[in-house]
């Protein structure tokens, strides 16, 4: 890792204290971690005060493990008084006002030293799936680092950037926000060469208020884009299609052929049900390398299920075209994309097929997951929980999802949570004779009790079951129960 202790101190400010055998400010550090269990010899440990655990209590331990530097916002004496950790156990440390801000400063300084291309991805929904597709495709030509799991916030993004190594040629970085100013700070660290926005939906309306507010907040990704950077936007999104130029950069639009400005468009697609889609994608010569004198078509198998994944795949093709991949490389990489747990990926078991949507939910992703469930040729059950941070229109959005599930022919809609009572009411109001039914449980605990006593009624053998809610609903417990029952 090409970053020295002295460079970290200059980037972060504060007071650097070098102590212990072999302490050297010009030494390059090996890694950066905020979890003491992941700290490495020769690395940096950033001590973060948490609600349950204060990272400062582990500074002595990581020094004994061989960490080269601890970044702290509490002095050794303060930690000794508060937590009884002897200050003489500490090694070298950098005392700053805010250790999380120091983490961001460190990532920004490190990024400026790197020649790697950074692809920054944001949007209201589909960020993680699009990240996976882009990384899989680019890996056919380049050595790629991608955001792992859900590390897409002001802690995750700097950790991802600090994980870039000399061998990497491209970093695919997911960038998630919930309020104004956050994307500005993420962009300042990442300095993306290619900016991708998947869509402008209804997530985080509590703070961002309107879709125009969401657009404004997401557009902060352009604030520190590279001078010769490129922009890839969803040409089917009514908000994004209005972006004509950003600081002299003309966006490249991908889509389904709904607008002549689209340079990457899906000409045709065929669903393979829960197991993906096949599609033909056209890349116009305007987005291809100069030695390509004509349009290029590529036939793809997209292994991630759902019609919305076809559009995410088009985003991946857009990025790949800008980075010079051939049609053969794009097709081969797309085939290798793997689903991410909790992101509407199907799990085939002996008793049931489950669709895991436990990671998060908003109105757009809920409807997309219902679309996926509708592809099943079995009895269809949707276990849907509250969507958080929807602001004053939360009741209406939950009602829309209930109505949509009925419209799509879901056999049983199980609504769980305080806000999901609106989902239940709207679903019940639209149920005719036969067909869809709906039931309501006030919380996850009540649902679990019902599943324990009435599993065959609520989740019949052979049914396909969607389990989806915002992360805070902790529906992973529901999924794990059904997984055990269905295996």
pLDDT value for 161: 98
Which superfamily, per CATH, for 5-101? MurE/MurF, N-terminal domain (3.40.1390.10)
What percent of the chain is modeled with pLDDT above 90? 80
**Is residue 231 over pLDDT 60?**
yes
Greater model confidence, 484 or 340: 484
Average pLDDT over residues 442-468: 96
**Is residue 293 over pLDDT 70?**
yes
CATH number of 114-335: 3.40.1190.10
Cα separation of 124 and 387, whole Å?
13
* Per-residue pLDDT reduced to its tens digit, 93-122: 999 999 999 999 999 999 999 999 999 999
**Is residue 434 over pLDDT 70?**
no
**Is residue 342 over pLDDT 70?**
no
Domain boundaries, the chain: 5-101, 114-335, 345-486
* Per-residue pLDDT reduced to its tens digit, 12-39: 999 999 998 889 999 999 999 999 999 9
Cα separation of 68 and 66, whole Å?
6
- Using an 8 Å Cβ cutoff, are 94 and 14 in contact? yes
> Which CATH topology does 345-486 take?
3.90.190
């Amino acid at each position: 890792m090409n970053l020295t202790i002295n460079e970290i101190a200059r980037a972060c400010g504060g007071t650097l204290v070098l102590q212990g055998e072999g302490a050297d400010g010009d030494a390059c550090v090996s890694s950066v971690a905020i979890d003491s269990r992941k700290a490495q010899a020769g690395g940096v440990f950033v001590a973060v005060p948490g609600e349950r655990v204060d990272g400062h209590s582990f500074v002595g331990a990581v020094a004994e493990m061989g960490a080269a530097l601890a970044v702290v916002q509490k002095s050794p004496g303060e930690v000794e008084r508060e937590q009884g950790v002897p200050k003489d156990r500490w090694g070298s440390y950098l005392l700053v006002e805010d250790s999380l801000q120091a983490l961001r400063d460190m990532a920004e300084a490190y990024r400026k030293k790197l020649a790697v291309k950074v692809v920054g991805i944001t949007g209201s929904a589909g960020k993680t799936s699009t990240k996976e597709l882009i990384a899989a495709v680019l890996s056919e030509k380049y050595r790629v680092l991608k955001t792992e799991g859900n590390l897409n916030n002001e802690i995750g993004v700097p950790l991802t950037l600090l994980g870039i190594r000399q061998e990497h040629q491209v970093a695919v970085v997911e960038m998630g926000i919930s309020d104004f100013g956050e994307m500005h700070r993420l962009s300042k660290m990442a300095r993306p060469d290619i900016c991708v926005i998947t869509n402008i939906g209804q997530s985080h309306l509590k703070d961002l208020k309107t879709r125009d507010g969401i657009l404004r907040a997401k557009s902060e990704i352009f604030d520190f884009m590279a001078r010769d950077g490129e922009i890839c936007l969803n040409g089917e999104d009514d908000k994004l299609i209005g972006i004509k130029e950003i600081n002299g950069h003309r966006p490249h639009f991908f889509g389904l052929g709904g607008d002549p400005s689209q340079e990457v468009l899906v000409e045709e697609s065929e669903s393979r049900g829960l197991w993906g889609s096949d599609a033909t994608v056209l890349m116009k010569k305007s987005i291809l390398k100069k030695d390509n004198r004509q349009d290029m078509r590529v036939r793809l198998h997209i292994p991630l299920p759902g019609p919305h994944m076809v559009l995410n795949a088009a985003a991946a093709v857009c990025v790949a075209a800008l980075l010079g991949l051939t049609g053969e490389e794009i097709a081969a990489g797309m085939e290798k994309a793997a689903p991410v747990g909790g992101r509407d990926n199907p799990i085939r078991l002996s008793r049931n097929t489950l669709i895991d949507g436990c990671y998060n939910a908003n109105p757009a992703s809920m409807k997309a997951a219902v679309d996926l469930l509708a592809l099943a040729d079995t009895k269809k059950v949707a276990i849907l929980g509250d969507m958080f941070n929807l602001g004053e229109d939360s009741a209406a959005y939950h009602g829309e999802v209930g109505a949509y599930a009925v419209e799509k022919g879901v056999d049983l809609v199980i609504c769980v949570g305080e806000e999901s009572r609106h989902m239940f009411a709207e679903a019940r109001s639209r149920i005719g004779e036969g067909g869809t039914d709906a039931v309501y449980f006030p919380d996850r605990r009540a649902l679990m009790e019902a599943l324990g006593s009435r599993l065959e009624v609520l989740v019949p053998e052979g049914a396909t079951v969607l389990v989806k809610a915002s992360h805070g609903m902790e529906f992973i417990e529901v999924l794990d129960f059904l997984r055990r029952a269905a295996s």
